[in-house]
Amino acid sequence: MQRVQDITALRQALDAVRQRGQRIAVVPTMGNLHDGHLSLVHEARRRADFVVVTIFVNPMQFGPNEDLDTYPRTLADDQARLAEADCDLLFTPDTADIYPRGLKAQTRITVPEVSIGLCGGSRPGHFDGVATVVTMLFNLVQPQLACFGEKDYQQLAVIRRLVADLHLPVEIIGVPIARAADGLALSSRNSYLSEEERQRAPRLQAILNELRSALLAGQPPTEVLDNGLKQLVDSGFVPDYLELRAADLTPLRAESREAVLLVAAHLGNTRLIDNLVLTLPCQNSH
Question: Of 175, 197, 214, which residue sits at a domain end?
Answer: 175
* Residue 125, domain member (yes or no): yes
* Residue 285, domain member (yes or no): no
Question: Of 121, 154, 175, which residue sits at a domain end?
Answer: 175
CATH code of the domain covering residue 246: 3.30.1300.10
pTM, two decimal places: 0.94
Q: Mark whether 153 and 243 lie in a shared domain.
A: no
Q: Mark whether 19 and 151 lie in a shared domain.
A: yes
Please report the pLDDT score of residue 155 as a whole number: 98
* Residue 259, domain member (yes or no): yes
> Residue 204: which domain range?
188-279
Q: How many domains does the chain have?
A: 2
- Nearest CA to 274 among 186, 151, 175? 151
Helix 221-234 / helix 203-216 crossing angle, nearest 10 deg = 160
Long-range interactions of 217-226: CB distance < 8 A, separation 24+: 218/281, 218/283, 218/284, 219/284, 220/284, 221/252, 221/284
Q: Mark whether 193 and 130 lie in a shared domain.
A: no
Catalytic: 37?
yes
Please report the pLDDT score of residue 283 as a whole number: 58
For the chain, list residues with pLDDT below 70. 283-286
* Residue 284, domain member (yes or no): no
Question: Of 142, 175, 208, which residue sits at a domain end?
Answer: 175
Q: Mark whether 129 and 165 lie in a shared domain.
A: yes
Edge to edge, the sheet with strand 270-279 lists: 238-246, 258-267, 270-279
Q: At 72, phi and psi to the nearest 5?
A: -65, 130
CATH code of the domain covering residue 52: 3.40.50.620
Q: Which listed residue (34, 37, 42, 126) is catalytic?
A: 37
How many whole angstroms from its chain centre is CA 23?
A: 23
How far apart (Å, rounded) are the C-alpha atoms in residues 25 and 116? 29
Q: Mark whether 124 and 242 lie in a shared domain.
A: no
**HEC string for 147-192:** EEECCCHHHHHHHHHHHHHCCCCCEEEEECCCECCCCCECCHHHHH
Q: Mark whether 83 and 151 lie in a shared domain.
A: yes
